Amino acid sequence: MPEPSAPAPAQIAAVIDHTALKPDTDEKTIRRVVGEALEHGFASVCVNPRWVPLVAAELAGSEVRTCTVIGFPLGASTTHTKVAEAQEAVELGADEIDMVIDIAAANAGQSAELQAQIAAVAAVVHASGALLKVIIETALLTQEAKELACRAAEAAGADFVKTSTGFAGGGATVEDISLMHRLVGGRLGIKASGGVRTYEDAVALLNAGATRLGASASLDIVGAGHNGSTSDY
């Protein structure tokens, strides 16, 4: 059997959501992160909703997309709140929405409730032509709940499933990406996020089935040096 592929740094850059999500992130940092994304050809810049108008304006006319998060980082807000957040985000210029699921519902086996919430957000996101990534927060889920969440996301019409917020004490693992790939690979995108810090991390996760990476250490991953990020994401 051939060895797994080792993609070039530029190939990896094209699937990285370059992130700045700490609550104390300032405008100077946001502008730096946008500049880095444009320079290196990252897939998107992922920021908290407060920064979406600035990022969308700075990225206008480029191929780098504007990504934001809702229900972040706990996932414990109501469906109404998540839908309202998503609606505002796309109106402000977001191209991609990363939504945290109701983690308690997943662990309780409440598939119908989980699917209904994701579907409600997906309807708003897709109406604007944006993409929806569903953060299942693998570090807080049982194995059964991980499977339930992936299936609910697919049934609800999400575009991606995603491992982690990076704020729950755990991040992407090869084992979780392999599980997600087995469940939804080829039909949904799979985003590995949380603790992706090196080129080797990135390659291992991509070879396991990830199709997108979320990282604040993006420059280290593509060999451009330490980026001084303020995010753990």
Active site (annotated) includes residue 191: yes
CA 88, chain centre distance (Å) = 18
Active site (annotated) includes residue 232: no
What pLDDT shows up at residue 6?
83
Q: Give the C-alpha separation, 158 to 20, whole Å.
A: 23
Tens digits of residue pLDDT in 1-46: 345 668 999 999 999 999 999 999 999 999 999 999 999 999 999 9
* Residue 135 predicted with pLDDT over 70: yes
Tens digits of residue pLDDT in 52-91: 999 999 999 999 999 999 999 999 999 999 999 999 999 9
Q: Give the C-alpha separation, 49 to 72, whole Å.
A: 10
Catalytic residue among 95, 162, 176, 201: 162
Catalytic residue among 82, 191, 201, 220: 191
Catalytic residue among 17, 95, 98, 176: 98
* Residue 49 predicted with pLDDT over 80: yes
Going from N- to C-terminal start, the domains of the chain cover: 9-221
Q: Is the pTM of this model over 0.75?
A: yes
Q: If you average pLDDT over residues 177-199, what whole number do you get?
A: 97
What pLDDT shows up at residue 84?
98
Tens digits of residue pLDDT in 92-132: 999 999 999 999 999 999 999 999 999 999 999 999 999 99
* Residue 226 predicted with pLDDT over 70: no
* Residue 228 predicted with pLDDT over 90: no
Instruction: Give me the helices (H) in the chain, please.
Output: 9-13, 27-40, 52-59, 79-92, 103-107, 111-127, 143-156, 174-184, 199-208, 218-221
Could you say which architecture CATH assigns to the domain 9-221?
Alpha-Beta Barrel (3.20)
